[in-house]
Structure 1
């Protein structure tokens, strides 16, 4: 199944997005509803809250007096963390139960107000953030929840700000206009990205890039890489793996194909063929079929074998190169990246060559093959630079 994390600040309209996803066919797991469930009268969660904060947080009917509890924890970080330690593990466990009960072909949207604050972003295949201007949020909280401006501002300040949410967001839905506008954006995301993503994930199908088109440098490429690397780390578990951003999108200011190249170091390709391959595929990075290798440098030697994975997400093409740590291919990818970062003249020469090749060999295979002679020459230049500077991978 495809797991989507949905978040947004209080008053952003996240619930309207979740409702639209549900109407389109998503299985929506509402963390707010679960948060109420785990502290219902008679629950272990409520008993622990009373033991921690006192009987003053109980209403006359024995239920949780939310305004009373809110008055204690909002604005008091230590108190809020004590509350989160009680509720968050219970909410996560119940959310996992509900997601596990969904169909294997489902798109499960987990509506999590504090997704950023508790570090859950890497656990999802995609994170959607609903963003709304602060003044609109304040007006909604006053109109829909009867909050004073001071109380609404305090609630907003207790959550992650827009900048922190943007860092983890694969998709940002702006909700500053009408409900119809919001529904149109959700519908487009559903049909154009989420539905094909789920099918690709289920079928272990890789998004392929056919025609080569160079784009201007995107300042968010490093942030996009960080999100991908975090998902890969989460998928591979507690092992301390090395992951690097390589290729043209890792060189600041360099136009490139809009494909994020990532390098994962493994101890052996046998390891890459086992549990690593399956975990990567489940996380949205299926393996390209066939055998893959890098051309040796200098030419004439044996090819450098590797495994190549891609992305099941049609909105973010990825080439994930799985190479043995310390191997020639692994080292060369890092050396070339760092040399181009350090040498403006070679960056310019590389760009000129890429533009010329893209104009004559626009398909991906032809483009890659046509660049090989330049890489052979770059290897000599880069090794000389490494010797002069004392570079190491």
Structure 2
């Protein structure tokens, strides 16, 4: 099943997106609803809150008096963290139960207001963030929740800022227009990305990257996108996994195909094979067949590796799994760092890319045309490494 994290600042319209996703067939797990369930009368959660904050946070009927509790924790970081330690683990455990109960082909959407603040983004296959202009959010809170402008601004300020949420977003849904416009965004997202993503994930297949060649201008968000993908890979394989952003999208200012290249370093290929299932469940299925690196500087020699793609049709990814210390592992890191450090080499590569792209219309012949350049780059990068004292990052 596909697990989607949904979040957004208060007043942005997250609930409207959640309702539309449900109308499109998604299974919704609402953290706000679960947060109420886990502190209902008679639950261990409510007992823990009473122990932490006193019986004064109960109504006459023994239920949680939310305004009274809110008065104790709002503006008090220590008290808020104490409350979060009680509620958040219980909500996560209940969400796991509901997720396991969903159908194998389900799109499970977890509506989590504090997804960014609690660091949960890497645990989902995809994160959707609903965004809206601050003044519009304040006006909505005044109209729908009866808040004053100052109260609304304070609630907004208490959450993660817009920049933090946007950095966590694989998909940013702008909700500055009409409800119909928002629904149209959601419908396209479900049709073109979420449903194909779920199918690829369930079947263990990678979304196809077409053969057509398209070199695009540098995207300043490529490193940010790579960081989100790396966090997912580390969540799936272990926090200590050595994952690096490599290739042209890792070099600021360099035009490239809009494909994020990542590299996972392993001690042996047996270790790579043992990780394949976990990577597949995380959305990075193994590519079939045998894959080899040319050993630059060692003519005629090759080195085996494993290749994984992505089940997400909206973000092409190549995940190279290489043995630490292998020629391919070293060259990927050296070339990236050489091009980052030497503007002339980067500009020469950009000019060569433009020339190759003018001559070739598909990725395959374009790749073949680059081979002589890679050999020359290997020699130039080695010279630079010796002069600069470069060593592969640990």
If the length of structure 1 is used for normalisation, what is the TM-score? 0.98
CA distance in 2, matches of 1:277, 1:56: 52
Query: Which residue of structure 2 aligns with residue 90 of structure 1?
Result: 90
How far is the alpha carbon of 1:295 from its aligned partner? 1.5
How far is the alpha carbon of 1:176 from its aligned partner? 1.1
Query: Which residue of structure 1 aligns with residue 317 of structure 2?
Result: 318
Structure 2 residue 163 is matched with structure 1 residue 167: no
Query: Which residue of structure 1 aligns with residue 179 of structure 2?
Result: 179
Structure 1 segment 118-157 matched on structure 2, within 5 A: 118-157=118-157
1:202-223 superposed Cα distances (whole Å, 9 cap, x missing partner)? 1111123221100000000000
How far is the alpha carbon of 1:298 from its aligned partner? 2.1
Query: Which residue of structure 2 aligns with residue 248 of structure 1?
Result: 248
Query: Which residue of structure 1 aligns with residue 225 of structure 2?
Result: 224
How far is the alpha carbon of 1:192 from its aligned partner? 0.7
Query: Which residue of structure 1 aligns with residue 341 of structure 2?
Result: 342
How far is the alpha carbon of 1:299 from its aligned partner? 5.0
Query: Which residue of structure 2 aligns with residue 375 of structure 1?
Result: 374
Query: Which residue of structure 2 aligns with residue 307 of structure 1?
Result: 306
CA distance in 2, matches of 1:147, 1:104: 42
1:333-359 superposed Cα distances (whole Å, 9 cap, x missing partner)? 011111111111111111122122222
How far is the alpha carbon of 1:152 from its aligned partner? 2.0
Query: Which residue of structure 1 aligns with residue 237 of structure 2?
Result: 236
Displaced runs of 4 or more, over 6 A = none
Q: Assess if the C-alpha contact under 8 Å between 1:266 and 1:324 holds in 2.
A: yes
**Structure 2, unpaired ranges of 5+:** none
Q: Assess if the C-alpha contact under 8 Å between 1:74 and 1:154 holds in 2.
A: no
Which deviates further from its counterpart, 68-77 or 213-222? 68-77
CA distance in 2, matches of 1:170, 1:90: 26
Q: Provide the secondary structure at the position in 1 that maps to 2:325.
A: coil
Q: Provide the secondary structure at the position in 1 that maps to 2:29.
A: strand
CA distance in 2, matches of 1:279, 1:230: 14
Q: Provide the secondary structure at the position in 1 that maps to 2:265.
A: strand
Q: Provide the secondary structure at the position in 2 that maps to 1:371.
A: helix
Structure 1 segment 225-304 matched on structure 2, within 5 A: 225-238=226-239, 240-274=240-274, 276-304=275-303
Q: Provide the secondary structure at the position in 2 that maps to 1:307.
A: strand
How far is the alpha carbon of 1:143 from its aligned partner? 1.8
Query: Which residue of structure 2 aligns with residue 197 of structure 1?
Result: 197
Q: Provide the secondary structure at the position in 1 that maps to 2:300.
A: coil
1:44-89 superposed Cα distances (whole Å, 9 cap, x missing partner)? 1111111111122111221111111111111111110000000000
Q: Provide the secondary structure at the position in 1 that maps to 2:164.
A: helix
Query: Which residue of structure 1 aligns with residue 110 of structure 2?
Result: 110
Q: Provide the secondary structure at the position in 2 that maps to 1:88.
A: helix
Query: Which residue of structure 2 aligns with residue 15 of structure 1?
Result: 15
Q: Provide the secondary structure at the position in 1 that maps to 2:172.
A: strand
Q: Provide the secondary structure at the position in 2 that maps to 1:89.
A: helix
How far is the alpha carbon of 1:361 from its aligned partner? 2.6
Structure 1 segment 44-55 matched on structure 2, within 5 A: 44-55=44-55
Query: Which residue of structure 1 aligns with residue 331 of structure 2?
Result: 332
Q: Provide the secondary structure at the position in 2 that maps to 1:252.
A: coil
**Structure 1, unpaired ranges of 5+:** none
CA distance in 1, matches of 2:384, 2:225: 29
CA distance in 2, matches of 1:2, 1:73: 35
Which deviates further from its counterpart, 14-23 or 60-69? 60-69
Query: Which residue of structure 2 aligns with residue 359 of structure 1?
Result: 358
How far is the alpha carbon of 1:42 from its aligned partner? 1.2
Which deviates further from its counterpart, 338-347 or 123-132? 338-347
Q: Assess if the C-alpha contact under 8 Å between 1:287 and 1:307 holds in 2.
A: yes
1:80-115 superposed Cα distances (whole Å, 9 cap, x missing partner)? 000000000000000010011001100000000000
The two structures, once aligned, show a CA RMSD in angstroms of 1.0
Q: Assess if the C-alpha contact under 8 Å between 1:299 and 1:376 holds in 2.
A: no
Q: Assess if the C-alpha contact under 8 Å between 1:306 and 1:324 holds in 2.
A: yes
If the length of structure 2 is used for normalisation, what is the TM-score? 0.97
CA distance in 2, matches of 1:124, 1:189: 16
Query: Which residue of structure 2 aligns with residue 25 of structure 1?
Result: 25
